Every structure is written in C-alpha cells, then in structure tokens.
A and B are shown apart, each in its own frame.
Chain A
Amino acid sequence: MSAAHDDHHHGPAKGISRWLFTTNHKDIGSLYLWFSFAMFLLGGTFAMVIRAELFQPGLQLVDPNFFNQMTTMHGLIMVFGAVMPAFVGLANWMIPMMIGAPDMALPRMNNWSFWILPFAFAMLSSTLLMESGAPNFGWTFYAPLSTTYAPSSVTFFIFAVHIMGASSIMGAINIIATVLNMRAPGMTLMKMPLFVWTWLITAYLLIAVMPVLAGVVTMMLFDIHFGTSFFNAAGGGDPVLFQHVFWFFGHPEVYIMILPAFGVVSAIIPTFARKRLFGYDSMVYATASIAFLSFIVWAHHMFTVGMPIAGELFFMYATMLIAVPTGVKVFNWVATMFRGSMTFETPMLFAIAFVVLFTMGGFTGLMLAITPADFQYHDTYFVVAHFHYVLVPGAVFSIMAAAYYWLPKWTGYMYDERLGKLHFWLSFIGVNVLFFPQHFLGLAGMPRRIPDYALQFADFNWISSIGGFLFGASQLILLFVVIKCIKGGKKATDQVWEGAQGLEWTVASPAPYHTFATPPDPKLIHDQ
C-alpha cells in the first residue's frame, strides 16, 4: 500500500452495488442487523399464528399440521435467522471499532458469509408454499419424524441448514482471525472489552459445533435419499443416536445465542452505572468455563430416553455446575450497579431487565436439570417458558439493548428516548404476561407443540396470548424508532453516553465509513 493510495479515502459506492459487493464491516454489520430484524418479524408472525390458535381451546384458525409447521418454522427462523445473525451483525459493526482495527480480517469472505444467508432463508421459507407443506417436525427435527415421516420439503430444509451453517462458520473464522490478529498495538487480550471476549469464545463454539449440525443433517439426507440407516432401527440404526448428535450441537448452540448477550450487558451496565465493570477477569474466566461446560451437558435434554442412572447423575451435576460461572456473572453485574450513579436510559432498562429475567430463566433451567423432576417437566410448557425466558428477555432484550446503545454511534443521531422507553415497557410487560403463565401451564401438565388443549388450561393460554399480541405489536415501535433515528434527530456527540468507555466512543458519530485506518493512540486503551 503506497502512501498516495492511503490518501485516496473513499466513501461507499452508490446504489444497490454498495450493498451487494461491500466488504466494509459496517455495511455488512448493517445488512446482518436488518436481515435479522426482518427474520425477527417473520418468525414473530409465525408465533402470532401459534398464539392466536391457542387463544381458545379447540381448533379454530389453522389445521394441526399447519400448526406444527408454524412451531417448526418459528423456532428455526428465530434461532438461525434472528438471534444468530443479529449477534454476528453487532460483532461486525463493533469488534473492529472496539479493538482499533480498520476492518475485519477477511472482508471478502465477510461479504459472502452474509449474502448466502438470504438464499438459505428464502429456500427454507419457500417450503411453506410447497405441496407437502413446510417442515413440521419441530426445530429440533428428531428422527425418525424428520426422516421416515417427514414431508418431502425436508430436503430443502437440510440444504438451508447447510448454508446457514456455512455462513456461521465463515463468520466465526472471520471473528477469530480479527480478534487474534487485528488488535491495535497496546490492545492486549485482557484489555479487550468483554463483548469482544464473549464473541471470541462464541466463535470457537461455532467452529466446534456447526460442523456437527452439518453432519447430522447430512446423515438425515443419506437416510432419506440414499438408503442408509443412521437413525432407522430397521436397518440397525438408532433414533436415540440422532438426539445425542443433535444435542451435542444443540447445547453449545444455546450458549452461542447467550454469550454475546453477556458481552453486550457487560458493556452497557458499567456505562450507565458510571463504574468500571466489577470483576472483569472473573467475567472472562466464567465465560470460558460456561463454554467448556456446554460440551458435557447435552444429555440433559434427553433424560427420559432411558439412560443409566450414572449417566443421568453425571449430566444432572454437570448441568447444575453451570449455575456457578453464570452466578459469578450475575453477581458481577449487580456489583457493578451497586453504589453506581445509575441512570435509566432505554439500553440500561433493557440490560437490567435482561439480568433479572435471564436469571429467572436460569433458575427454571436449574429446576429442569434435576433429573427426577425433569421426568415431570419434560416436553411440557414449563420447558417452553424456560427457554423463552432465556432467549426473549435474555438474548433478544440484549440485542435490543445493544441496538439502542450503539444506534447513536451508527446513525449520528440520538433515538427518541420517549418512544424507546415506551417500547421497553410494553415489551417488558408483554413478555412477562406472555411467558410467565406458561410456567403454570407446564406444571399443570400442558404438553408443548399441540394446537389444542384440555379446558383447564384455557385461562392461562388466554392470558399468554394477550401478552403475545402485546409483545408482538410493540416490536413495530422498535422499527419506527430505528427508522426515525436514521432520518434525523438530536445530534449525537462522539462519546454519546456520559459514562461510555472504549475505543468505539473515540471516533466521530456517525462512525466514518473507515475507522482506525491508522491504529489508535495506545493511551486511549484503558485497563478494564
């Protein structure tokens, strides 16, 4: 690179080609975030169909097979289309700016890893229009339901999962390469913001388990089309094997969706408590411990398949062990807030709600970890309540917190605080009205994935559906706030938030198209 070329800084290209051919981490971050928001609304629409059908006992709106397609597509779209790409989008936007790098390490691959995603989801969504209907076997696609008894659209589902997996793996490689090789001088590993740390660890999880997911869907493909019997008992295979392979991927996968959330919250709470993050080192080690433990707890999803008592005990204790590093994190966030000068802007509200509600989801997780109790809770709405508490007011709230927190840095304008708070309160009330009654439904014995239910479940389902519609509708406020903020508003300062620390707040607002083309002054890099 000659100096003359360096002087020739250029802005983005014009028109659609800017987005199609971009290798700029900020553009790709925006693409990921918009894509995930679109998927969030699509998956949310499916959830509204589910809640509308469950509004009353009896079958009123959709037939049971279509209901099953809705639960399946809702799960797949939310996990692979909304939550995961949203975090990759945040990583793309923020990680280079947080570590003082000019861009991601592999910008061309970055473009590719985004642009294969719309094809994957177009393929997956197109199954809804097919004669056989969309996949109807649940997002966990247990064999033989997803092989012997699957609709013929399952092949499209398999290839869509392959493409999503390839996208995630490329994204993960890119993030690891960026974090390990592109840090500015002076940015040692233990000076990195926690969001970067959690993403680094998440990226390793992705590298480790997405290929296993690709493997398990490949086995399904072979069983369906090439006469193998991986999961077919008649040919000497075993359906339980499917669950082992799937959950070996599946459990780390749920941490892939929550570890970056920990990073986001660890960035926001110190800013609005105007204190340093309490226990930075322990946060890093806790994250690494959680990631390690995620590989040895998978069978707690399948306590009822008939494991020996020794196996059940091992997976029970290992699962409970996860509460220790998670507890370290929760206590650290609380300690960060303790005696801080707190203010309650929208990102902080979402972050505090995250800490409270995620912890509740964690506690129900502990209940489910108790093997004998799990025999009662297994496949009931209690499980649904548990994982929605950790994923919606957990992962999704943290994404919203992140969006509000960094929106002024992205757009250069402050978002409308009143509308932001309205969005928060409606979401907060909505999400609790939606999911809290599901605990009671589950404990009373209502099974998951059913379009109709016994009459005694009617009241709580009615309440839950009302909460669902409220939560669903309030997300349109977020869309409105974001668009309004892009169009204009109060000019944001470079630091945006009074207590904000970190390299991303040292660049102009909105962040210029190219940042840190020359490394930042090492004096700007603080101890954590």
Chain B
Amino acid sequence: MKQAKQNNTKRLVTRLLFTVVGMFGFGFAMVPLYDVICDITGLNGKTGDQVVSVQPKENAQQSDRQITVQFLAQNAAGMDWEFSANDAQVKVQPGEVKVVSYHAANPNSYAMVGQAIPSVAPNEAAQYLKKLECFCFQEQPLEAGETVDMGIRFFIDESIPEHITKLTLSYSLFDITKSSSSATAVTQR
C-alpha cells in the first residue's frame, strides 16, 4: 500500500517535471510561432526578411487603380545618421515594379553599421507589399562621413483589397555597430 503510493508519487512527479520542461520549451517555441503568425497574417507590419521569389506577372492586367505608397525614415534612439527618403511618395499600379531610394549619411568621425527595420501601415497591407530588393535585407556599413543612396525595388500584389488606396512604408534605422559582423570589415576597409 505504502510502496504503491510512493511509486504513484514518483510517476506523477516525473510527469509534472516533464510538463515543466515542456512549458519552458513552449515559451521559446512562441518566438518562431509568433514570427510565423506575423508572416502569414501580415500582422505587425512585418514585410519579411527574405527577397520575394515570386515575380510580378509579365502582362499584368492594366487597371486604372493607383495606390499611393508613402515612405518614411526615422532614426531609432541613439542613432545620429542623416536618414531620409528621396521620394516622399509614389503612385503605383498593382503589379508594376517600382524603384525608389533612401539617403543615408554617417556624420561621425568613425565608421558605423546601421540596420533598417521596415514596418508597413496599415498592418493589413503588409503582406501585399512585395520587395524584390531592399537595403533592409543587409547591414549598412558606412565609413566616417560616407554618404550612400540605398534602393528598394518593390511591387504591390494585384490581390490587394479594394479599400486599401494608400500605404506607408516606414524604416527605423538602428545602430548595430557593436553587435555587427561587418563592423570589423568596416574598420579594415
């Protein structure tokens, strides 16, 4: 009787400990799960880190639809680069590939590395903005005083809902000099 009780307790405690370890793992599993959900739903304005492989259709149906895309630039806290969009806004037809550029300059007397993080408003529009090329896909190392124009090639997916007529692509520029892998490359160049 007593022995059976102790065995029960052992088995139960083992199971509970496995649950604890499992839930600790689940906490970490929420990180990729969250990214997957954001990617699928286009939530949080995330536009994905990867170059989009789908190309726009060659003979995109000519429509009169015009979508206004606005471009914003801002420095994250602690970043002092000059950072701005060269075009405040462009009008595009869905399916049409556009090229726009951003301007960045490092005013400091030392080399730095920046990383731009995109965000799209409204959130709902994020999944229809497809980027073929973007400076946000790479780190941006700039020498002291260096100036650069950085391009984006993008198109708007034809399946974008009718009610979206305007969307905003915003970049926050972060200073990642300390943690960057290209930091050493900058100083050597």
Contacts and interface: CB of A to CB of B under 8 A. Distances in A.
B30 interface: yes
A15 interface: no
Contacts of B16: 172-173, 176-177, 207
B117 to A, nearest CB: 5
Given A169-B20, A211-B21, A227-B179, A234 B115 contact: yes
Nearest to B116: A234
A236 B5 CA distance: 51
B124 interface: yes
Nearest to B115: A234
A181 B8 contact: yes
Interface stretch (B41-49, B58-66, B160-168): B41-49
B81 to A, nearest CB: 13
Contact of A308 (B20, B123, B175, B179): B123
Given A105-B9, A234-B115, A248-B30, A211 B20 contact: yes
A214 to B, nearest CB: 6
B99 interface: no
A240 B44 contact: yes
A233 interface: yes
Interface string B171-189: 0101110010000000000
A517 interface: no
A211 B26 CA distance: 9
A211 B23 contact: yes
A245 B20 CA distance: 16
A253 B26 CA distance: 17
Given A233-B117, A234-B174, A308-B123, A177 B13 contact: yes
A137 B161 CA distance: 41
B108 interface: no
A233 B27 contact: no
B31 interface: yes
Nearest to B38: A238
A234 B117 contact: yes
B115 A244 contact: no
Contacts of A234: 76, 115, 117, 174-176
A151 interface: no
Contacts of A230: 31
A212 B172 contact: no
A306 B179 CA distance: 29
Contacts of A499: none
A213 B27 CA distance: 8
Nearest to B119: A233
Contact of B23 (A207, A233, A241, A244): A207
Contact of A212 (B26, B34, B38, B174): B26
B27 A215 contact: yes
A307 interface: yes
A233 B76 CA distance: 10
B152 to A, nearest CB: 18
A180 interface: yes
Given A177-B13, A234-B117, A207 B20 contact: yes
A106 interface: yes
B19 interface: yes
Contacts of A173: 13, 16-17, 20
Interface residues of B, number: 39
Contacts of B49: 236
A208 interface: yes
Contact of B24 (A1, A176, A212, A241): A212
A213 B25 CA distance: 11
A212 B23 contact: yes
A308 B9 contact: no
B164 to A, nearest CB: 14
Contacts of B22: 211
Contact of A215 (B28, B115, B123): B28
A233 B170 CA distance: 13
B27 A308 contact: no
B19 A207 contact: yes
Given A211-B24, A212-B23, A212-B24, A238 B44 contact: yes
Nearest to A212: B27
Contacts of B115: 234-235
A219 B123 CA distance: 26
Interface string A449-477: 00000000000000000000000000000
Nearest to B172: A233
A31 interface: no
B170 to A, nearest CB: 12
A233 B26 contact: no
A155 B172 CA distance: 28
A385 interface: no
B173 to A, nearest CB: 9
A215 to B, nearest CB: 3
B12 A214 contact: no
B30 A106 contact: no
Interface string B62-83: 0000000000000010000000
A230 B23 CA distance: 18
A378 B176 CA distance: 33
A216 interface: yes
A211 B115 CA distance: 33
Given A306-B43, A307-B43, 5 more contacts: A173-B20, A177-B13, A210-B23, A211-B21, A238-B34
20 contacts: A1-B2, A106-B13, A173-B20, A176-B16, A207-B19, A209-B23, A210-B20, A211-B26, A211-B27, A212-B24, A214-B24, A219-B27, A219-B28, A227-B179, A233-B172, A234-B117, A235-B115, A244-B30, A306-B43, A308-B123
